[in-house]
Structure 1
Amino acid sequence: MGSAGKVAVATGAFFLVTEVAAIGGLALYGPVLESTGYVVGPGADSRVFLGALFELVLAIAAIGTGVTLFPVIRRQNEGAALGYVCGRLLEAAVIVVGIVSLLSVVTLRRDFAASSGADAASMVTAGKTLVAIHDWTFLFGPNFILGANSLVLAYLMYRSRLVPRFIAVLGLVGGPLICVSATAVMFGLYEQLSVLGSVAAIPVFAWEITLAVRLITKGFNPSPLTSGDA
């Protein structure tokens, strides 16, 4: 396997990890996201910690997709390639803010359990605030920023023909669509975790999964970009 083949496999693996980690993290966070009284209740701290670990892996894998692809896609358009790497770094940073906010909820819950004079109402309000921070990071990171990143990478893949163009079209459609959906959520038209929100996320999900499988199984299409030629 040549260097281009190794890059393709590594990138595909990173994309698959982002999907698994994102789904796993959201599922594990269920108790703290759904219970308004988590801070003053018995809690499920181990699940939250595991969810945080999943999302940390998600952030690292997101950066990995940009770093591994950069040497190849910069030969198509260096500015856009650098923008993609920076976008992935920003996406990861926003995800980490969400992780810290939910871990802070766990800290509040433990402090409340260890204190006999704490005001339960104030603790619940603080817990809700931290969960709200996570909800906003979840909207901006895996929606707005992900949509923009998907659009940039899909454009590069479409122009370079490194993968079949129908795969790139999924990203060209899915990226803007998830941004539009995030805008609708921001203005209160529907909830992010809803039927409409899920439907809007299908194209970008299909784009990342299809791209990952293609890169792992067949690699890049033959191209001067993968041989190092200008």
Structure 2
Amino acid sequence: MATTQHTRTVDRQPAADPTRRAATIVGGLFIVTYVTSISAKIGFYPPLFDGNYITGPGQDSRVLWGAFAEAILIIANIGSATALYTVVKHRYPNLGLSFIAARIMESVFIGVGILAVFTVVTLRQDFAAAGEQATAGLVAVGDAFLAMQHWTFNLGPQFVVGVGNGCILGWMMFRSRLVPRRLAVLGLIGGPLIVASGSAAVLGLIEPGGAAQTLSAAPEFFWELGLGIYLVVKGFRTPSADVQGTKAQQAVTR
């Protein structure tokens, strides 16, 4: 009898939340995307754009660390999307796949930017000691690859991110209430803003990377950072009351 009672007591213990692990992974990878993207852009890449990198002494190791950080960013991008899909696939299968596709496209642009950086470093190392005439051509080629790196940033983190992380992810989190709606609203605001500013930059209506584009990215910045921290600390919320009520009504109807 004692054994039976003990077994029943154990059976009454609440089951572990199956989404908690996914929430930790998604939130942790979102935080990784922040660390890697910001460290690359602010900490490692500035020597590339100081005006004489390709013909000067250069800081190759520093720049290559930036490229490596962005390679980790690609992994975190795709990992966060696939981990999230395990949570939303039953309710939002199409949007979940769309979010994965957006993350992959963002990563493609980032990868092209990494290749541009590698090419500039190789040119500097192999040809910077050439004659004056060759050096002039080298600077032009190097500037072309750096311009490509700029454009990949505008098309990836400044455009595709608005569609994927802002509009698609923000909508899924807002409707499902897996995170607080006040937090998800930041994505619904920030996504269209950076899509608009990224489009304006591509069309030459505003300066790429200027004050207007930086300010427009603020809601998206806090949305993604807040999402990562929230998921690591608290995990996904339980389905909202209205969702549970809808399910109950469907069960009664059946």
Fold similarity call, TM over 0.5: yes
- What is the CA–CA distance in structure 2 between the aligned matches of 1:67 and 1:3, rounded to whole Å? 16
**Greater relative contact order (Cα < 8 A, sep 6+):** 1
Which has more radius of gyration? 2
Structure 2 unaligned segments of length 5 or more: list them. Answer: 1-15, 248-254
Residue 73 of structure 1 and its aligned partner are, at CA, apart by 1.1
* RMSD, aligned CA: 2.0
Aligned to 1:30: 46
Please show how residues 158-177 of structure 1 align to structure 2 within 5 Å: 158-177=174-193
Query: Is 1:208 aligned with 2:224?
Result: yes
- What is the CA–CA distance in structure 2 between the aligned matches of 1:83 and 1:220, rounded to whole Å? 20
- What is the CA–CA distance in structure 1 between the aligned matches of 2:179 and 2:87, rounded to whole Å? 13
- What is the CA–CA distance in structure 1 between the aligned matches of 2:71 and 2:101, rounded to whole Å? 18
Aligned to 2:204: 188
Whether the 8 Å CA contact 1:112–1:118 is kept in 2: the answer is: no
Aligned to 1:113: 128
Residue 89 of structure 1 and its aligned partner are, at CA, apart by 1.0
TM-score, normalised via structure 2 length: 0.84
Paired residue for 1:69, among 84, 106, 112?
Answer: 84
Query: Is 1:14 aligned with 2:25?
Result: no
- What is the CA–CA distance in structure 2 between the aligned matches of 1:113 and 1:119, rounded to whole Å? 9
Aligned to 2:5: none
- What is the CA–CA distance in structure 2 between the aligned matches of 1:185 and 1:107, rounded to whole Å? 29
SS at structure 2 position matched to 1:3: coil
| Matched letter for residue 50 of structure 1 | W
- What is the CA–CA distance in structure 2 between the aligned matches of 1:33 and 1:113, rounded to whole Å? 16
Whether the 8 Å CA contact 1:76–1:156 is kept in 2: the answer is: no
Which 10-residue stretch deviates more, 184-193 or 98-107?
Answer: 184-193
Q: Deviations over 1:124-144 (max 9, x none)?
A: 010011001101100011011
Whether the 8 Å CA contact 1:91–1:142 is kept in 2: the answer is: yes
Structure 1 unaligned segments of length 5 or more: list them. Answer: none
Please show how residues 147-162 of structure 1 align to structure 2 within 5 Å: 147-150=162-165, 151-162=167-178
Residue 193 of structure 1 and its aligned partner are, at CA, apart by 2.5
Identity between Structure 1 and Structure 2 (%): 39
